[in-house]
Structure 1
Amino acid sequence: MKVTIHQPEHLPWLGLLAKVAASDLWIVLDSVPYRKNYFQNRNRVLLNGEQTWLTVPVEAPFGTLIRDVRVAGTPHWLRRYRGRLVQAVAGTPGAGRLEGLLALIEAAAPGSPLADLNLDIVDWLFPQFEVKVPRVRASELSATGSKSGLILDLCRTVGADEYIAGPSGRDYLDLAAFADHGIRVRFFDFDHPTYPQGGSSFVPCLSAVDAWSRLVQAELPLLLSRYRLSDR
């Protein structure tokens, strides 16, 4: 069984969708500390040709685990978020199909878990790209350790024989330890596709909502096929 492990990003980018689609199981890494100013509570869309952040305010004191991060009661954030998202998809084919996503964002009450919101969005977004891979939360498993050791123990816990790692795994994974437990490690490198964005130059690495809004659904799964798997 091929397993990938990744934190629950907010409005994830195409590369995460592609890595999950290449796997048999996604372990949602919600049992590690929240990383401030990363992609767990925000992501980028294209607004008037410029990269613009959509951000969910959170309550996350230092050391808070991702599973325990809560949506903050910051005034007016939802109105600002909604306005930017609606403007970003205005004039695209997806403009009239945004209600489902907006409903999920608007249901994010103060005090609700950020991870739940992110995974609700995943449940809406992944089917648009025909990603049907099951998932399990790391916090539901009995794995222990940190860094490479935690990843290895998570793989062992679910019976993986192959782990699909992101490029950064080359810097910290103990490949010998994985080999000792009969688990092959393969590194996933995503070749970002281009598609019409209405500007003179293409802006990569945005939320997958950008591609979803601009293309017809039949074209979306093809965007996830541009990747390479290697042992080193």
Structure 2
Amino acid sequence: MPQTLSCAVHQPNLFPRLSTLGKLFRADVWVVLDDVQFNGRDYQHRARLAAAADPEDQRWLTVPVHRPRGRASRIRELRPADPAAAHRTMSRLIRQYYGRCPHWAETAGIVDEVLAALALHERLAVVAEVSVRAMLDRMGWPGAVVHSSELAAREGRSERLADLTAAVGAGTYLCGPGGARYLSERPFAERGLRVRYPSPPPLTRERGMRTASALWAFAGRGAAGVRDCLVPDRVPAQ
């Protein structure tokens, strides 16, 4: 891969937020961070459904998980605790929230892919990744997906991210607002890599949109509308 590519590194999130989706949409390569410790307070196994009429009215959609090694379990090790129950809840709740929205048919296709993955796969990371890729696919994202568990990298936070960026042949790392709080650019500079900080999509500044799953936007605006709100010009890796 040429070093003109940009790279984003992010955990597989279940029906991700627009800020996460926007960062990945701008990248040429998504490194799925699947070999770090699971964080039960994050979005890997859950998403916030925002009501169609009032996006500030939200509730959690959660897939309860089994952690085979307790708190030390890595993301890729998680298993849905009760896949059949999670399948029923996911299908019912999402249809309840968005079944009457103008772009429900398109959104239902995304949900169906995730439900199929939940029925077929034992690993939650696969299910969450499918939800992200289904959204990106419908927006025409042409990028590649690689898993961090398949790549060699050092243990330090910033060192690890720099190593993963270099491992996929990218020259630019795209850092989101959360990562910017702790990221050190030194390991990137030492490897001749750049760090860019793309702005979150403008829609995320509207009420409720910082925490809500992108399902709300897909159901109300369709994939083309979501693509437009994610700022279609992709970040150049100079």
TM bucket normalised to smaller:
0.7 to 0.9
Q: Is the 8 A contact 2:15 2:128 kept in 1?
A: yes
1:156 CA drift (Å): 2.1
1:28-47 mapped onto 2 (5 Å cutoff): 28-47=32-51
Return the match for 2:139 from 124, 129, 143.
129
The total of aligned residue pairs comes to: 224
Q: Match for residue 126 of structure 2? A: 116
Q: Match for residue 6 of structure 1? A: 10
Q: Is the 8 A contact 2:7 2:30 kept in 1?
A: yes
Considering only aligned residues, what root-mean-square deviation do their CA atoms show, in Å?
Answer: 2.6
Q: Is the 8 A contact 2:28 2:142 kept in 1?
A: no
Tell me the distance in 2 between the aligned counterparts of 1:81 and 1:169: 29
Give the alignment's TM-score, normalised by structure 1: 0.85
Tell me the distance in 1 between the aligned counterparts of 2:84 and 2:105: 27
Return the match for 2:65 from 58, 66, 74.
58
Query: Is residue 93 of structure 2 the alignment partner of residue 84 of structure 1?
Result: yes
SS across alignment from 1:93: coil
1:228 CA drift (Å): 11
Cα pair distance change 1:188/1:153, threshold 3 Å: same
Query: Is residue 67 of structure 2 the alignment partner of residue 67 of structure 1?
Result: no
SS across alignment from 1:112: coil
1:100 CA drift (Å): 4.8
1:148 CA drift (Å): 1.1
Can you give the 5+ residue segments of structure 2 that lack an aligned partner in the other structure?
none
Can you give the 5+ residue segments of structure 1 that lack an aligned partner in the other structure?
196-200
Q: Is the 8 A contact 1:42 1:56 kept in 2?
A: yes
- Runs of 4+ in structure 1 deviating by more than 4 angstroms, as ranges, are 226-229
Q: Compare the two structures and name the one with the higher strand fraction.
A: 1
- C-alpha deviations, 1:165-204, integer Å up to 9, x for none? 1123333222122112111111122043279xxxxx8421
Q: Match for residue 185 of structure 2? A: 175
Cα pair distance change 1:67/1:159, threshold 3 Å: same
1:212 CA drift (Å): 0.6
1:124 CA drift (Å): 1.8
Q: Match for residue 114 of structure 2? A: 104
Structure scoring higher RCO (CA < 8 A, sep ≥ 6) equals: 2
SS across alignment from 2:118: coil
Return the match for 1:224 from 214, 217, 230.
230
